[in-house]
Amino acid sequence: MKYFGTDGFRGRANEELTVDHAFKIGKFVGWYYGLRQGRKTKAVIGKDTRRSSYMYENALVAGLVASGADAYVLRVTTTPSVSYVVRHGDFDCGIMITASHNPYHDNGIKLIDSGGYKMSPDVLEQVEAYIDGEFEIPLATGEQIGRAVDYVEGRARYIKSLIESMPCSLEGFRVAIDCANGSSTPIAPRVFTALGADVHVISNEPDGFNINMGCGSTHIERLQAYVREEGLDIGFAYDGDADRCIAVDEYGNVCDGDTIMYVCGAHLAKQGKLSGNTVVATVMSNIGLFKALDKLGIGYEKTDVGDKYVSACMQEHGYALGGEQSGHVIFSEYSATGDGINTSLRIMQTLVETGKSLAELAKPLKIYPQLLKNVKVEDKHAVMEHEAVKAAAADVEAALEGEGRALIRASGTEPLVRVMVEAPTIELCEQYVNKVVEVIESL
């Protein structure tokens, strides 16, 4: 697609993604679900804490209302909360304004369908065609003009649902939460406090520019140090829109999405609640996860990178658990999409029900050293199809003899080719990644 990548329309604010784009997206959505069919669209809008998110919020509302839709505005909230509100309310779609884990100067627009899932490619293609002027959309007039509704109560319902999803108290647990100065700030601390935990919060003072800056799931070192220094039981870090969660155990060790899927998947399997006895991961998940699941007799499926592919696989087969190494983890009993705060609660539930710490539960999992390097290119698709690149990857795979692997993939949102190698040592990872990178750069 031209504008929408694996996780929405994303780019530098008012450069790659402009306020005009936002107005047109809102106008298209209002027309497509409503005016086009002679009815009124009901759409939910949420945003993260970036300064530019307020600009896009106003533009989207203007576009929606201009094409006859009613726009229900959640204000600062998380992506999974928008999904929840759409899924459990009488809404046609949802819109989330966020660039997720990117710096403040980027922003993005995610479109969500009535089921709470990411909008289908055929609809997104029509959005793109409208943005490019391939057809016109009429403006609503008279009584057809829509309205904007302040709908912070929708966020409150989401918070209530998280609290009610926990079958046990968290009293006695000392929990650290890194809000990344983002969307989880008004939500996560309230949830954990309501459940009885002794909550220690950092990175919870957003100023419009500090989202993800040296904090959150992409800068986990701050939470690691904090958990160690304060002697806490566990820590959770989210990204800007809180659809990711990375955990830190009582020793400050990082537990990424792979570790979370292992810990929770093993517990669900013992309880007979892991439908299909299968975990859905992506091709980027660590080889150590697959080896550990093999030992437990748990099956797995691998999808392309992107939580939308994980979600689609889970929907198709009715699986209960899936996710990405990056911390997008989906528990289908509770959510249609990755939800960082829900993931935290499911980890806490596992700790309470097993009576073990996170470090104890993760101990059997051996994570192989993994190195990822991004190579900026002019044509990522041409690079991916080049025979020399394919041959370099095959040579690495052969040299590792089953004790590691090489993976080359194009970024879904940037002009990058990502080269990843897993091997028994970080030195081998470096050696083999550089071998492939040199081939790409020589092109």
233: which DSSP letter?
Answer: S
Q: Round to the nearest angstrom and report the end-to-end CA distance of the chain.
A: 25
Among residues 375, 440, 443, 370, which one has the least CA distance to residue 411? Answer: 375
Give catalytic status of residue 344 as yes or no.
no
Tokens standing for residue 369: 């050293």
8 Å CB contact between 43 and 145: no
Which amino acid type is present at position 106?
D
Distance CA 58, CA 391 (A): 50
107: which DSSP letter?
Answer: E
Residue 114, annotated as binding a ligand: no
Question: Per DSSP, what are the bridge partners of residue 370?
Answer: 422
Of 53, 67, 83, 100, catalytic = 100
Residue 106, annotated as binding a ligand: no
Residue 307, annotated as binding a ligand: no
Q: Which residues contact 27 (CB under 8 A, 6 or more apart)?
A: 63, 64, 66, 67, 130, 137
Residue 243, annotated as binding a ligand: yes
8 Å CB contact between 262 and 304: no
8 Å CB contact between 121 and 14: no
CA 362, chain centre distance (Å): 22
Contacts 24+ apart (CB under 8 A), 128-136: 128/1, 128/2, 128/3, 128/4, 130/24, 130/27, 130/28, 131/3, 131/21, 131/24, 131/25, 131/28, 132/2
| Sequence ranges of the binding site | 100, 239, 241, 243
| Sequence ranges of the binding site for Mg(2+) | 100, 239, 241, 243
Active site residues: 100
